[in-house]
Structure 1
């Protein structure tokens, strides 16, 4: 179980850092779901920083739960806006990404005593 948990942590950290950086470096004129939803630049920056922070929090046993909770919150936000747009397909695509942090919370951090 610790090996599975470690693999999930590494994947989550990688994708959190990658997606957070992509959100922070959106160039004017690029198509992005946050632009589509008319999020201000400040909100995009906050979401990008929270995404990166959640990935970093997941690395450490002391902040593991908080990082996963932030990750779940961001995914639920994205799902909610997809549902608001009546885009069920895109909302359902996010379900596995919502389950991963919940499974990680259940499995616990591999370095936790």
Structure 2
């Protein structure tokens, strides 16, 4: 169980850090179109990037592990809600496995506690 928890922790942190870093890169046409359909203004992307990077780093500390997973889950639910509002059911369905990751991490608890 501890190995599964560590793998999920590293994967979740990597995804958060990657998405945070990508928010600072120039948006490709497909990414800009998706953000516009969700109602997210391009000028807000750096704020989402900082938020995502902070969530990824918070995962590694036992004091902020739970909060980071909760914020990650809330962010994913927000993306799903915005997608459904925009009529993009496919994106909302794609997010379901990513929503399960923070929930499983909360259930498994912080893996590096001695």
State TM-score, norm by structure 2.
0.88
CA distance in 2, matches of 1:38, 1:46: 15
Specify the alignment match of 2:15 in structure 1. Answer: 15
Specify the alignment match of 2:61 in structure 1. Answer: 60
CA distance in 2, matches of 1:7, 1:37: 31
- Structure 2 stretches of 5 or more lacking a match? none
Query: C-alpha displacement at 1:2, in angstroms?
Result: 1.0
CA distance in 2, matches of 1:73, 1:23: 18
CA distance in 2, matches of 1:23, 1:72: 19
Query: C-alpha displacement at 1:42, in angstroms?
Result: 4.1
Specify the alignment match of 1:79 in structure 2. Answer: 80
CA distance in 2, matches of 1:24, 1:76: 22
Aligned partner of residue 29 in structure 2, secondary structure: coil
Query: C-alpha displacement at 1:112, in angstroms?
Result: 2.6
- Structure 1 stretches of 5 or more lacking a match? none
Aligned partner of residue 59 in structure 1, secondary structure: coil
CA distance in 1, matches of 2:30, 2:90: 19
- Structure-to-structure mapping, 1:18-97, within 5 angstroms: 18-27=18-27, 30-32=29-31, 33-97=34-98
Query: C-alpha displacement at 1:38, in angstroms?
Result: 4.0
State the aligned residue count: 112
State TM-score, norm by structure 1.
0.88
Query: C-alpha displacement at 1:31, in angstroms?
Result: 3.1
- The structure-2 alpha-carbon separation of the partners of 1:26 and 1:35, relative to structure 1 and needing over 3 Å to count, comes to farther
CA RMSD of aligned residues (A): 1.6
